[in-house]
Chain A
């Protein structure tokens, strides 16, 4: 229970007081903050509408002439709402958050190459090394063109992985096997995390070659 800073009545954790409608700074999970069911598939347009509607109710600009306690509650409630929206809007962030809710976590520095990406990673790294080592300008240009083509391929893989993630979201929402769900989610997300790092490395290398 939490005390409403505006009317003083005790409230169940929520973003707004059930009695007077003032903002409450109660700790909530992202789904509860936006008042939506705990599900992996989310209709993004509906989510945005919900976010805007709640922002209109909670935002500090709505309480500029109120006392410091109410303003503080509005500030904290809005900060929580904004963070929750940002997390749920992005499928990858949403997946990672889901793992966290279930007491699981991707290793922070995911050094182990996912088996299905091993070959690709090896090839890309070799190409990057070749590009950076080539001293002849013409040869360097040729290598850079190859790497740029790779960049397109990687993006394609990434889009595929993201689509795969969305497909699994729908499947998992129907399934009851929590344990299998978490394992599969972990695999897909770590692939995505790895691809993301790879794309960033390629972009940096291309940027550096362009600058040089």
Chain B
């Protein structure tokens, strides 16, 4: 049987790991021999995909040229292609769950459906499809690094412990779309505890504080003779380092007019500066933040104290979650024998300090917080292969599961922090004579009313034989598997026959949709490479020609005659070449046209910023 690999599909970085000589190790998949693959996916208008470091370079940002001019580069989204980062934040979300600030970052297709879809060029991509690209990049990178013709087919993928059913399903779908057999989903903090537990560093009651780029988890475990039993978990799947970065960006761009703040090039440049500043303040107590805009520089000084003020509300939220988890585990902070730090955001000195205060002890961080989850996933993979002795993980379901009953009340069937796998059987009957179907609305959450919980799925039981009300007796079993995913089946109590159930997931993809996506992906793969490159070059040509014509229409006055003549000449040659089959000629002309139009593009940006700043100063004066 093929080896199972462990994957940490992170918000900011993704890693793949395996066991070697009894110890887990990460595999170098990055271009520079790094094990961290940035979870960033660039998609050109024609659908060409780039993942990792090179995708980061394609993110929209402002760059200072050799001659000192500032120009805007990268895929700006929509018809110009897009670069998607932190896609994990969108996993399992419905269109109605997208926040306004997300809409400024990305272009979405119709948001009325049960799945978020990014609009890129003429295509739409679900978060599962984007994540599948990250998984594919990890797979091919690791296969290359292993260099022994070994194929990676079976994997363990980690998810935040607080991921709900829909988010877990979306992660499994991503694996399937990447052509992987996802043997198991493992909760990230639990995986981390496996990596520590292997070294016998953590025994007794252990708290795992996992503060990553986009998600926060706290899990309390009891570790005894190789059994890793989760007692309670809590968290927030939309709380991470990204939120602190956003707060810094708001501070950096505070004086800019609103329209400019939302510009994707400006915003992302500020985000990169914010991330750098945050990282350098791990050791330094102050740092300069510089963002170069055309004709205007933002220069500010950020102290660690000021950063901590900005981060404080987010850190406070993590600590509140810790209190709840400790209480749910029926323990006190003093009864915790070890605290383990996981995730890049735990590098902040403030986070370490506050966690130490809360648990009255210094937290452990001897394993690299960026790698520990992937290492733990490799340990779990080895458990699944039966090569890890007596080690066993007993995890819990993070959120209560129930059904909607009369009056819109949520009736809890499985309580949060119940060890999984677990199941519960519930009897259903009809309310009126000759009723042929029973509808069951399954919910997840802790609130009293159904409308305040998250809808998971609607099941239609039937057809039921026509009988007086209350006579049919159908037993429905809700089973949560070791991945934390719900399975439902129904049985007629009198005949013992299995009942068919029509499942409508409230969020996420149906099986048919995944099948279709898989077929499309295979079509794309079998297309002749040369042909794809030609199509890609033609699309590039079409894109630059279209953009140029649009800009000339609007800002034609900004182009001097000599420059205009050169532009026209290259434009004409490209127009002629693009219907031909000489791919290299098309690519060369696209580059040439790009070059002769760069000064023009800069002038447009300058003019826009000047206009915006003037408007702002007029507003300030008045």
Contacts and interface: CB of A to CB of B under 8 A. Distances in A.
A80 B421 CA distance: 9
A75 B424 contact: no
A32 to B, nearest CB: 17
Interface in B381-428: 383-386, 390, 392-394, 418-424
Interface string A57-84: 0011110110000000001101110110
Nearest to B4: A64
Given A52-B227, A55-B394, A59-B392, A79 B479 contact: yes
Contact of B392 (A61, A79, A83, A85): A61
Contacts of A52: 224-225, 227, 392
Contacts of B482: 59-61, 75, 78
Contacts of A82: 394, 418-422
A55 B481 CA distance: 14
B390 A83 contact: no
B393 A61 contact: yes
A83 to B, nearest CB: 6
A106 to B, nearest CB: 17
A86 B383 CA distance: 25
A62 B479 CA distance: 19
Contacts of B419: 82, 85-86
A157 interface: no
A80 B477 CA distance: 12
A26 B479 CA distance: 15
B384 A61 contact: yes
A206 to B, nearest CB: 15
A56 interface: yes
Contacts of A76: 423, 479
A75 B386 contact: no
Interface in A71-128: 75-76, 78-80, 82-83, 85-86
B514 to A, nearest CB: 19
Contact of B481 (A75, A80, A85): A75
Nearest to B227: A52
A64 B423 contact: no
A79 B390 contact: no
Contacts of A61: 184, 380, 383-384, 392-393, 482
B226 to A, nearest CB: 8
B227 A65 contact: no
A142 to B, nearest CB: 27
B384 A79 contact: no
Nearest to A85: B419
B1 interface: yes
A78 B421 contact: yes
Contacts of B390: 56
Contacts of B393: 61
Nearest to A64: B384
A64 B418 CA distance: 22
Contacts of A64: 4, 183-184, 384-385
A154 to B, nearest CB: 17
Nearest to B479: A79
A56 B229 CA distance: 12
Contacts of B385: 64-65
A79 B418 contact: no
B323 to A, nearest CB: 13
A52 B145 CA distance: 39
A89 to B, nearest CB: 10
A161 B424 CA distance: 29
Given A79-B423, A80-B423, A86 B418 contact: yes
Given A52-B225, A64-B184, A83 B424 contact: yes
A61 B225 CA distance: 17
A25 to B, nearest CB: 10
A117 B184 CA distance: 50
A82 B183 CA distance: 21
A55 B391 CA distance: 11
Contacts of B418: 82, 86
Interface in B187-226: 224-225
A75 B481 CA distance: 7
Interface string A131-142: 000000000000
A83 B479 CA distance: 11
B435 to A, nearest CB: 24
Contacts of B1: 65
A57 to B, nearest CB: 10
A80 B479 CA distance: 10
A48 to B, nearest CB: 8
Contacts of A65: 1, 384-386
Interface string A17-44: 0000000000000000000000000000
Nearest to A75: B421
B394 to A, nearest CB: 6
Contacts of B423: 76, 79-80, 83
B168 to A, nearest CB: 15
Interface in B1-33: 1, 4
6 contacts: A60-B421, A64-B384, A79-B420, A79-B421, A80-B423, A82-B394
Given A52-B225, A65-B385, A76-B423, 16 more contacts: A52-B224, A55-B394, A56-B390, A61-B383, A61-B393, A62-B386, A62-B392, A64-B4, A64-B384, A65-B384, A65-B386, A75-B479, A82-B419, A82-B420, A82-B422, A86-B418
Interface of B: 1, 4, 183-184, 224-225, 227, 380, 383-386, 390, 392-394, 418-424, 479-482
Q: Which 8 A-B pairs have the closest CB atoms?
A: A79-B423, A64-B384, A79-B421, A82-B419, A78-B421, A52-B227, A60-B482, A82-B422
